[in-house]
Structure 1
C-alpha cells in the first residue's frame, strides 16, 4: 500500500507526496535504494502499478510527488525546472532521506536532472527516459521531429499565448507509434488513466511545465557529475531522439541506451532495467 500525505513547505505551499515505504515486497525499513520518481506532463504524481511492481521486486523504495499545480500540489508561480531541486530537498528532509537516486520520464526528465545537478551531496545517480533537452541547447534543432509542437512553440510567447493555445488544443494521434498504443493498452494502462485524471483537474500544471521547458532551466546539464542514464526511443515523436542524444553528449557521466523501435510511451517498458542500472550505480 502506498502512503499519500501532504507536505507543507516553509513558503506555505503544499506538495502531495507518494511513498511506497509501506507497500508489500522488500524490507520497507531497509530498502536497497530509494528512488525519487519525477512524473511526466501531465500526470498527478501517483506511483503507477508497473513501476511499483518493478521496485518491490528489487527492494527499492519509491517516492514521488505532484509538481506544483498537479495532483493536489499547490501552484508555484514562475517556477523553473531548477525549482524542483528545492522541493525535492524539502521532501527528502521530511522523509529522512540522506542519499537517493532520481528517475524521470518525459516531462519528468529535466526535473530529475535538476536534482542531480543542484543536489550533488544527496543524489547518487539519475535516469531519464524520453527527456527533453534545453531549448537553448547548442547544435540541436529543438522542434525537429516533433509530431505536434504547438504547445511548446506557444509557450515561447509567454503564459497568455500558452493558455490561449490550450483552450483549443487536441491530442494528435500521430504523436504515438504502434508500440506506444500497445503499451497503453497493456501494462501501462494506468498511465492513461492518470493522465486523464491530471487533465480533468485543469491545465495549469502542464502550462507551467511547458513555460519552464522553453525558458532557462536554471542549471547546466553539463554540470551533472553523478552517473546519468539517458534512455530514448528511436521512433519517439513527442521528444525526438536528438534530444536524448544531446543529453548523452552533454552530461559528462552519461550512458546512453537507445531503442530504435520504441516511441514515447513504449520506452517505459525499460523501467525495470533502468532500476537495475540505478542499483548498480548506487
Structure 2
C-alpha cells in the first residue's frame, strides 16, 4: 500500500442520513470501500467524530467504519424522550442509505446498550455485536444494581436519573458538562484514559477543521438528559434474546463503569464472550483494532495459521 493510498483511506467522509421526515442523522465514513463494514455507536456525551479519530490514529484498514452522531448530538436531529430501542431505526436507516444488508456493530460506554438493542431487535442486520466499556441496565435479574461498584459520581448519576429529568439536568450542569475539569477528570478517568485523551485531542480537532464541522445547533444538555432517562427506564428488550455472536470488552482500571456490569450482561446472553484488560480504563481507544478485528474476523482472509 502506497503512502498516497493510505492517506486516502484515512480521509473521513461526512454525509447525512434521513431517518424520517423530521429526523436527520450526521454520519461519517472512513476506511477502504471493499473491506467488511462495521458500524460504531458513541457514548455519552460525545459524537461520532471521536470514533473517526480513533480509526485514523490506529489505521485498522481491514475494515470500513461507519459511525454517526446520535440523536441530539453534533449534527443529528434530537429525538426527545427517546428510549434505548430507538437506536434501531437509526441503524436501519444508515444501513439502508449505504445499501448494506447487514454489518458488524459495536457501541462504547453509553452506546454499548444500544449495540445490544440492535443485536436483539434486528438480528438479520447485525452480524456480530461488541459492547465496549458498557453500562448495564438500571436493575436486572439476580439482584443486579447499576449503583454497585462504579465511582461515586456515576452512582450519583443513575440515582439522579431515577428521580426525574430535572435531577439529570442538574447533574449534567454540575458534572457532565465539565468532563475536562481536573477535579472531575481524576474521579472518572484512569491515568491512561487521560494520557490517551491528550494524544487524540489534536487529531480530533484537526479532523473537525478538515470536515468543516460547525458547533452543534442542538443542546448537548438535552441529549444527555434523554440518555440518562433512557438508562433509568426499562431497555425494551431481553438480553437473553440476543442470538448473534456477542462479546464484551472491559478495562480493569475503568473508573466509570464497574466490572460486574460487563460480567453480568455476559451471563445473560447465551454463548457471549468477554475480554478483560489490565491497565486500561474506560477508554479502549488503543485496543479498538482488536475489537474491530473480532467483529470482522469471519470475513478476513487468514494470513497464517492463527485465528482471532
User: Any conservation in 2 of the 1:7–1:16 contact (CA below 8 Å)?
Assistant: yes
Q: Distance in 1 between matches of 2:113 and 2:94?
A: 18
Aligned equivalent of 2:15: 5
- 1:78–1:19 CA distance, 2 compared to 1 (3 A): same
Correspondence list, 1:245-260, <5 A: 245-260=263-278
Provide structure 2 residue ranges, at least 5 long, that are not aligned to the other structure.
1-10, 209-214, 300-308
SS at match of 2:276: strand
Are the aligned partners of 1:145 and 1:237 in contact in 2 as well (CA < 8 Å)? no
Give the corresponding residue for 1:40. Answer: 43
- Please state how far the C-alpha of 1:38 moved relative to its aligned partner: 0.2
SS in 2 for 1:277: helix
Gaps of 5+ in 1: none
Q: Which has the larger radius of gyration?
A: 2
Question: Structure 1 residues 154 and 107 mapped into 2: Cα distance closer, same or farther (>3 Å)?
Answer: same
Could you state the TM-score of these two structures normalised by the residue count of structure 2? 0.81
Query: Which residue of 2 is the match for residue 104 of structure 1?
Result: 107
Following superposition, the deviation at residue 216 of structure 1 comes to 0.7
Q: Structure 1 residues 37-46 or 176-185, which shifts more?
A: 176-185
RMSD: 2.3
Q: CA deviation at 1:37?
A: 0.4
Q: How does 1:216-227 map to 2 (within 5 A)?
A: 216-227=234-245
Name the SS for the 1:104 alignment partner: strand
2:228 to 210, 234, 242: 210
Can you list the C-alpha shifts for 1:78-115, whole angstroms capped at 9, x where unaligned? 11111101111111111101120101111111111111
| Distance in structure 1 (CA, Å) of the matches to 2:93 and 2:23 | 11
Q: Which runs of 4+ in 1 moved over 3 A?
A: 52-56, 187-194
Count of paired positions = 271
Query: Residues of 2 paired with 1:270 and 1:189: CA distance?
Result: 19
Deviations 1:170-227 (A, max 9, x none): 4422211222222222357656998xx77x9531222211111111111111111011
> Counterpart of 1:48 in 2: which secondary structure?
helix
Q: Do the aligned partners of 1:85 and 1:114 also contact (CA within 8 Å) in 2?
A: yes
Matched, 1:135 2:138: yes
Decide which structure has greater helix share. Answer: 2
**Which residue in 1 is equivalent to 2:92?**
89
**Within 1, Cα distance between the matches of 2:170 and 2:201?**
31
